[in-house]
Amino acid sequence: MSKQLLYSIHASKIHKEVMNELKEKDIVSPGKSIQSIVHFIEKSVKTKSNYDYKHPLIAGCAFPANVSVNENVAHYTYSDQNKDYILKQDDIIKIDFGVHKHGYIIDSAETFYFNDKYKEFIDISKKATEFAVKQSGVDKCLGDLGGEIEEYVHSKEVEIDNVTHSLYTLKELCGHNIGQYKIHNSKAVPNCQFDYPLRMEEGEVYALEPFVSTHSCESYYDKPCNLFMLNKDYLKHENKLTTIELEYFTKIKNQYNTLCFCDRWLKEELNDFNSNIINGLIYKNLIDEHENIYVPKGHYVSQFEKNIYINSNKVIELT
């Protein structure tokens, strides 16, 4: 068994345990806050992975827990810079979090809901991801896989509040393969038909995540932005930094490597969050921002994300 597969299986067990606890312990329910859910997830992941504050890159959270509600599609994590949100009976909640072992990442998500009027919609979303898994394998053309996912989703429709909705995939959001300490590695998995001839290869790990929505057009990016990641080409830009910026950047690099992080983590784990320095590092292309993603209010979005390992003769489902 490869090291990647071994450590991915280890991380997947932790991810499954935490996701099950969210359901069994009623952590996600009306009246609960996003802050409480995020803190539960991240504390649980750190405990179960034996996170070591002195050696932060051995195992732990692969990225801040994302809890995105209703028209907020993705990338929302709690921050004390934002007003907290209390879940309501009619909400649809996408919960996306990651676990890593020696940088080998599990990135998986589910959608939660409390009102049965969403059941058919959420079920179709879950089945779309399961369909994507079944279509995957060695030598699968990723552009063709995107077309098959789109066709599957677009063949469905649902009724919510006596209104019939056609269903679509959010085309600009993609699945991806995963590398060591790299949540988005070298390949994308389109969720629509696309001229993209790259193929799945043996030994790769993929995150498949069709975003199913009643919205047919492009989603959009907007504030707040609390998620950050080192620019993959940061080595080209380090010589632009002042002494203070370089010192701060080195702390971040030693703490997170190329894993995603957030302002909340910088305050908790580095104890010297400085928004002016962060803004300077962003301006000088050392750090990338990852803004929240939205569809127009009144539309519905669901996400189920599964991780798979491409073996020579079959697909191994990690989550």
Tens digits of pLDDT across the chain (319 residues):
899 999 999 999 999 999 999 999 999 999 999 999 999 999 999 999 999 999 999 999 999 999 999 999 999 999 998 999 999 999 999 999 999 999 999 999 999 999 999 999 999 999 999 999 999 999 999 999 999 999 999 999 999 999 999 999 999 999 999 999 999 999 999 999 999 999 999 999 999 999 999 999 899 999 999 999 999 888 888 888 999 999 999 999 999 999 999 999 999 988 778 889 999 999 999 999 999 999 999 999 999 999 999 999 999 999 9
Tell me: do 111 and 202 sit in the same domain: yes
Write out the two tokens for 237. 């830009």
Do 25 and 126 belong to one domain? yes
Q: How far is the C-alpha of 186 from the C-alpha of 178, rounded, in Å? A: 8
Residues 214 and 261 in one domain: no
Domain count, the chain: 2
Whether 10 and 51 map to the same domain: the answer is yes
**Same structural domain, 90 and 143:** yes
Q: Which two tokens stand for residue 147?
A: 């077309």
Exposed e or buried b for every residue in 189-226, given b needs 16+ CB within 10 A?
bbbbbbebeebbeeebbbbbbbbbbbbeeebeeeeebb
Q: Are residues 34 and 91 in the same domain?
A: yes
Domain range for 272 is 224-290
Q: Are residues 302 and 283 in the same domain?
A: no
Please indicate, yes or no, whether residues 135 and 271 belong to a single structural domain of this protein. no
Question: Does residue 230 share a domain with residue 213?
Answer: no
Q: Which two tokens stand for residue 279?
A: 């803004």
* Same-domain pairing of 185 and 254: no
Shared-domain flag, residues 190 and 69: yes
For residues 186 and 131, state if they share a domain.
yes
Give residue 172's identity as a one-letter amino acid code.
E
How far is it, in rounded angstroms, from Cα 260 to Cα 262? 7
